[in-house]
Structure 1
């Protein structure tokens, strides 16, 4: 999403390849999960649907990314697919962002016990956690509208608009906050579901 702001396209493609490696690694260590996907649709529907949504959007982003690659790969025989693949890649990466945030949120309890940073946040006083959560939700909502993410998610913007006057740090803060917003929403939904 920050392709034009980061500079040469090869950086974008290298980051895409890094993402592919991380996805393969993550799926390999969680491969047993796929054996129980049908029962989990009943017992853990939110977790299952966000994982399926994330998988589909990542597969679309990676396949389309490989086909439209101009630096690391070049598939001459697939040149006719370029226009369609660009559109698929353009929209799928925004869904990857959304589903990644939701995926992190629904697995928040596990993350808190595996990573010290999340565990430290979990041990903070309730009022501090509430203020932090409300700050992320508030700013994340603002950033969601400011970056026009709703237009990309619902296929209303066929190209990416960048405000080149916007500092790169602010751009990344906005997208981290948007991810935080959806992660908190998913975490809250999963917590309510587990209480019931």
Structure 2
């Protein structure tokens, strides 16, 4: 794998891990400062990611659009929009990193915007991963393994099973409530623990990634 591809892969992994940790709100750490610092790090990583993939955004208004390209544009622009609102609301709510700005108004709007944007960002990120499954497999050197019919079938079965659990996790975690503002605050289910939190949220990523991967295949057919 070329060095540039390795850097991109490490960047994508770091962004995904940071997102999963940040989805736990302030419940993983004693100080909210850690959540804020991780948020800033994710923002910086996004700036690097956009710079590395600037050709996509520069070509948004060029060429013809088919159904797949429209889907790709909606997902990528959705991520960008959510990242913007996360940045603005995060700065407004900051009690540590950006406290020096002295922002005292708009807290109610910022909390709602942060909750809404974070969960839509999570969904768009999952869809983004699904649109790049083949690329990820190539970068990890797994494309050759999928030439075996048995390996391909086994991978698909595992993906479907994890996605099936992701449906359950999506429901039990009540993510739809955050996506459509049916719940105005984030609830962390301490009884399910931290390990199950990550298992659930990873399964939800797989759910959306698998769904959009096969939708994209149909679009390209």
Q: Which sections of structure 2, spanning at least 5 residues, go unmatched? A: 1-22
Aligned residues: 193
Check the 8 A contact 2:160/2:210 in 1, yes or no: no
CA RMSD in angstroms comes to 1.7
Distance 1:11 1:40 in 2: 43
The two structures have a TM-score, normalised by structure 2, of: 0.82
**Residue number in structure 1 paired with 2:45:** 22
Residue in structure 2 matched with residue 99 of structure 1 by the alignment: 124
1:37 Cα shift? 0.6
Alignment of 1:171 with 2:193, yes or no, is no
- Residue 96 of structure 1: how far off its partner (Å): 0.7
Deviation of 1:144 (Å): 0.2
Aligned to 1:6: 28
Q: In the aligned structure 2, how far is the partner of 1:26 from the partner of 1:143? A: 29
Hey, what's the Cα distance between the residues in 1 that align with 2:180 and 2:126?
Answer: 17
Aligned to 1:84: 109
Q: Is the 8 A contact 1:10 1:72 kept in 2?
A: yes
Q: Greater shift after overlay, 137-146 or 127-136? A: 127-136
- Give yes or no for the alignment of 1:45 onto 2:67: no
Give distance in 2, aligned partners of 1:17 and 1:132.
35
Q: Which TM-score applies when normalising by structure 1?
A: 0.91
Cα offsets for 1:59-117 (capped at 9, x unmatched)? 111111112111111121x311222111101111001100000011112222222233x
Quote the Cα distance in structure 2 between the aligned partners of 1:126 and 1:112. 12
The answer to whether the Cα contact below 8 Å between 2:25 and 2:186 also exists between their aligned partners in 1 is: no
Which residue number in structure 2 is paired with residue 31 of structure 1?
54
Structure having the higher helix fraction is 1
Change (3 A) 1:62 1:136: same
- Match runs of 1:146-185 below 5 Å: 146-185=172-211
Residue of structure 2 equivalent to 1:137: 163
Contact 2:137–2:143 (8 Å) recurs in 1: yes
5+ long unaligned stretches in structure 1: none
Q: Distance in 2 between matches of 1:121 and 1:73?
A: 48
Pair 1:17–1:189, CA change in 2 (3 A)? same
